Structure 1
Amino acid sequence: MTSILTNSSSLAALQTLRSIHSQLSATQGQVSSGLRVATASDNATYWSISTTMRSDSMAISAVSDALGVGAAKVDVAYAGLNAVLDLLSEVKARLVAAEEDGVDKAEIQSELDQLKEQVRNIATSSSFSGVNWLNTEIADIYDKTLNRAAVVSSFVRGAEGGVGVKKMDVDLSQIALFNSTGGGLLQADPRDLGTIGGLRFPFAPDGTMSSYSVGNESGFTPSDVKFMFNGPLAFGVGDEISFDVTIDADNPADPISPPYHPGDTTHVVIERATVDAVLPSANGVISTYKEYAAVLSSALSGSGATAAIYWEYDPPWSKNIVDVPDQIGITYIGNSSLDGSSLQITGFTSTVGSGGLSNSAIQYGERRSSMTLNFEPFRVYEEVVVNFDLRVGRESSASYSFDKDYVNPLLGVDDGLIATSDDMATLLNSLLARPDIIIEATSGNAISVRTDPSIDRKSGQKSGIGFWGINVNIEPIPKLNFLDIDIEQNPQKVTEYIQYIDVVSGKVASGAAMLGALQQRIDMQSEFADRLMSSISKGVGRLVDADLDEASTRLKALQTQEQLAMQSLQIANANAEILMQLFR
């Protein structure tokens, strides 16, 4: 159909040309930008993902840079600690040389002063970008909220879109050589608990503390019933010696209430058969004190007592041991099922003479079930744990421990301070929680620890109370300041100084090892960050990058199509010109 109003062929050609222009524009954009998805209108989903991941990649790049700064800080601190370790070895060598007789300690001290100054210089100069981990100013270097330095390690995006920066913490208490408020590796450790409120005492001149309490108490056995042999004793048929042995009667003088147990009594008989069994060739005659002791020991079997001879050093304080002639003792063994501790000989009769043995007064063992602690204030710091054992009488030891988290709510403080003897009594009562033990602050700074006699009736060697196995998890700790070492003024402390250098050298080496591990982790994290950025770039490229081979080929095809479409439009317009000639 031919119309003077509508040129259908021209419209079709024009529509085709517009479509080709649109495709050609998009393809030219891909070729020029290299992107298949350049704007949100190209593909909203892919564009959103690529924009977010490019942002993350830039953040990871910043993390990589931060890791480089962190690595530099660690490297500087590590180099400083290594240098100080070498100097500490030099200091130790000088101190060992100072123990030699005849050396000039003033001259050695001069060398030590130079080494100390060099250590100080290393600590103050081990700084990177104004950050110094070896010379710090921390109010409490053991407080976890204050002693942390951080190195940025990673950028993360959570499953729900949340983002965050992860950091690696550095515990400065493990590497700081000097701190403004104390606690550096080369300074006296302020966490020294001293006597732990009186639980222990200084064990050696260098300040080493005991692992038990100076007030530990153990009761004593009853004294022996001693006598001098005055034999011989000749036993015939029908002859005998008899007596009663009573052991472990309660002592009314002890702080226990009645009734008092009378003890176990055994009737002992010595006759001809008894003598013959012990001395088969003696024909019933006990001639010496050793023979009498042997016969008595046999007869006393099962009674809770025995007989023995005595010996002594001759001369005194020598290693030569000799018997005490003619002296015999009835010695306590005891009955573990009874609370008392005593020994007595009664009802003695004989048809052959006594041999020196006779009735005796009752001998009580000494009850010791109380001790006194001399309290001194102390503070329990973070991560400090005190362990100790309590032993009462012949019981197995029971173990206890406490730390700052236990002390603070118990005493209503926030700094771990046990300031008074009442505080210490409260702490021990809370830990032990035993109704048979009474713990209370007494006059001055004394703390009484004792068993309740209404519950604990044990006496003699069966009684006792004490603290053992006392241990603090952070010990040994340095109790000196490195810069205070002075063998010229304190020549008697050379050995103590050597021991101190050993302790702090170990702590400095541990700090260097920690930094070495941190160095390795930073290197691994840096390598991972590089790989992660590369992987993100590849992933984004797969989503939005254009295939330039395909795009260039399509571009040529569309250019050809454009030329053809333009020619078609020209032909369509030429047909209209022919029609118009009919009206001329």
Structure 2
Amino acid sequence: MTSIMTNAAAMAALQTLRQIDTNLEMTQRRVSSGYRVETASDNAGYWSIATTMRSDNAALSTVSDALGLGAATVDTAYTALDNVVEVMSSIKAKLVAASEPGVDKNKINEEMKQLKNQLVSSAQSASFSGENWLYNSGVNPLGVKQVVSSFVRGADGSVQVTTLDFDTADSILIDIQDSSRGFLTKAIDAYPLVENQPLPVTRRDYFLLDMGDAPVAVPPDTVNEIAIDTSTTKEQLDDMIAVVDNIIQQLTDSAATLGAITSRIEMQDNFVSNLMDVISKGVGRLVDANMNEESTRLKALQTQQQLGIQSLSIANTSAEKLLTLFQN
């Protein structure tokens, strides 16, 4: 039936054109934004997952920055400690040289004083961003230092920040408040370090640096600074050499620990970087638009839109043909 009141063909064409326009608008938005799921209305589930994972990626980016800061702090401590080991080796060599007959022990002692000053300078300079793991001027011990290593989200949605821990008791060289807390300031008994010691056991404590808090031993009068003069005996030199060698061994162990932490931080930093890339790829699979498909769909919808407009035009002009029936 043909009616001038209701144009069913035009209504059908208009409905089709509206659907085409809706699809075209959605496709154009995907092409312009690059996202298949840009808002929660596009796909609430995927949008929620993507938003959470983007937030976690931002946290991991902060972790990466913290790892960089921690690595710099550890590297600073390691570099200074490595220098201290070299200086300690020089002090040991000076003491060995002092054991030779006819040497000027006073001159050797002057050289050792300069080396000791270098030890203090190295320890004081080992500071990065206000952190110094080798020198302590505070009343309390520096304690355990933490380096942020990762951000973890549990299966139940709980979150946790994990850290790498380092006890600075294994690295403190100088403690001006409590000499017993520093490798270079504490007293060390030479008796068990020297071979073929006679009985009875007698403590012979030596310390390398006097920072104002002289080490205390039992009895106190057995504590001596590692320093020499013309009256220094061969036995005393043997004790000093043994104590210095013991300090070098402890410092070497400390440097090895810092080196292991540096290696761990580097591995963790690489892992965090790779993890961030994987998360970004996973989010992309959920919400990114396939530009090849969308561009093809856009071209098809533009063609459909033109055809729809043409169909609506034809449907609207069909009613005009009725006028010929009323003409002469």
TM-score by length of 1: 0.49
Matches within 5 A, 1:142-181: 147-181=143-177
Structure 1 residues 521 and 546: alpha-carbon distance in aligned structure 2, compared to 1, 3 A threshold: same
- What does residue 188 of structure 1 align with? 186
Whole-Å separation in 2 of the counterparts to 1:583 and 1:135: 109
Whole-angstrom distance in 2 between the partners of 1:164 and 1:180:
37
231, 240, 250: which is aligned to 1:507? 250
Inter-partner Cα distance in structure 1 for 2:13 and 2:202: 109
Q: How far is 1:524 from its partner? A: 0.5
Q: CA RMSD in A?
A: 2.1
Quick one: distance in 2 between partners of 1:2 and 1:59?
Answer: 67
* Offset, 1:103: 2.1
> What displacement does 1:48 show?
0.7
Matches within 5 A, 1:193-212: 203-207=201-205
SS at match of 2:207: coil
Q: Equivalent residue for 1:129?
A: 129
1:222-371 alignment runs, 5 A limit:
none
- CA-to-partner distance for each residue in 1:159-218, whole Å, 9 max, x for gaps? 12122221111111101111232211111169xxxxxxxxxx9812515xxxxxxxxxxx
Between the two proteins, the alignment pairs up a number of residues equal to 299
Identity percentage over the alignment? 51
Query: Quick check: 1:27–1:554 contact (8 Å CA) kept in 2?
Result: yes
| Higher helix proportion (structure 1 or 2) | 2
State the one-letter code of the partner of 1:152: V
Letter in 2 for 1:63: V
Mapped partners of 1:162, 1:139: distance in 2: 38
The AA in structure 2 aligned to 1:171 is D
Matched, 1:74 2:74: yes
User: Partner letter of residue 567 of structure 1?
Assistant: Q
The corresponding residue for 1:52 is: 52
For residues 144 and 254 of structure 2, the distance between their equivalents in structure 1, rounded to whole angstroms, comes to 14
1:563 aligned residue: 306
1:220-269 deviation digits (Å, cap 9, x = unpaired): xxxxxxxxxxxxxxxxxxxxxxxxxxxxxxxxxxxxxxxxxxxxxxxxxx
Asked if the contact 1:138–1:147 (Cα under 8 Å) also holds between the matched residues in 2, the reply is: no
Aligned-partner Cα distance in 2 for 1:50–1:523? 28
Summarize deviations over 1:310-347 as a string: whole Å, max 9, x none.
xxxxxxxxxxxxxxxxxxxxxxxxxxxxxxxxxxxxxx
The one-letter code of the counterpart of 2:284 is: G
CA-CA distance at 1:572 after TM superposition: 1.2
Q: CA 1:137–1:162 in 2, change beyond 3 Å: closer, same or farther? A: farther
Tell me, yes or no, if the aligned pair for 2:105 and 2:230 is still in contact at 8 Å. Answer: no
CA distance in 2, matches of 1:81, 1:553: 64
Q: How far 1:489 moved relative to its partner? A: 8.2
Equivalent residue number for residue 10 of structure 1: 10
Query: Which residue type is aligned with residue 187 of structure 1?
Result: T
The CA deviation at 1:85 is 0.6
In structure 1, which of residues 455, 469, 491 is the aligned counterpart of residue 232 of structure 2? Answer: 491
In structure 2, C-alpha distance between the alignment counterparts of 1:57 and 1:482, rounded to whole Å: 48
Matched residue SS, 1:154: strand
Q: How far apart in 1 are the matches of 2:133 and 2:51?
A: 39
Aligned pair 1:104/2:104, yes or no?
Answer: yes
Aligned-pair CA distance for 1:580: 5.9
SS at match of 1:85: helix
Distance 1:76 1:176 in 2: 13
2:162 and 2:324 mapped to 1: Cα distance?
83
SS in 1 for 2:162: strand
Q: Does the 8 Å CA contact 1:10/1:572 hold for their aligned counterparts?
A: yes
Provide the rounded CA distance (Å) in 1 between the counterparts of 2:12 and 2:91.
99
Distance 1:98 1:127 in 2: 34
Answer yes or no: is 1:20 the counterpart of 2:20. Answer: yes
Q: CA deviation at 1:138?
A: 4.8
Q: Distance in 1 between matches of 2:54 and 2:203?
A: 67
C-alpha separation between the residues in 1 aligned to 2:258 and 2:15? 72
Whose radius of gyration is greater, 1 or 2? Answer: 1
Consecutive unaligned residues in structure 1, runs of 5 or more: 191-200, 208-478
Distance 1:490 1:65, change over 3 A: farther
Q: CA deviation at 1:4?
A: 3.1
Contact 1:94 1:112 (8 Å CA) reproduced: yes
What's the CA shift string for 1:371-393, capped at 9, x where partnerless? Answer: xxxxxxxxxxxxxxxxxxxxxxx
Q: Which runs of 5+ in 2 are unaligned?
A: 189-198, 211-224
Shift in Å, 1:583: 7.3
Q: CA deviation at 1:147?
A: 0.7
Partner-residue secondary structure (3-state), 1:491: coil
Residues 460-499 of structure 1 deviation map (CA, whole Å, 9 limit, x = unaligned): xxxxxxxxxxxxxxxxxxx524344221287243222212
State the 1:152 CA deviation.
1.2
Report the residue type matching 1:530 in the other structure.
S
Counterpart of 1:160 in structure 2: which amino acid?
Answer: D
Say which SS state the counterpart of residue 169 (structure 1) adopts: strand
Contact 1:74 1:515 in 2 (8 A): yes
SS class of match (2:260): helix
Give the alignment of 1:26-37 within 5 angstroms.
26-37=26-37
Whichever structure has more strand as a proportion of its residues is: 1
Equivalent residue number for residue 421 of structure 1:
none
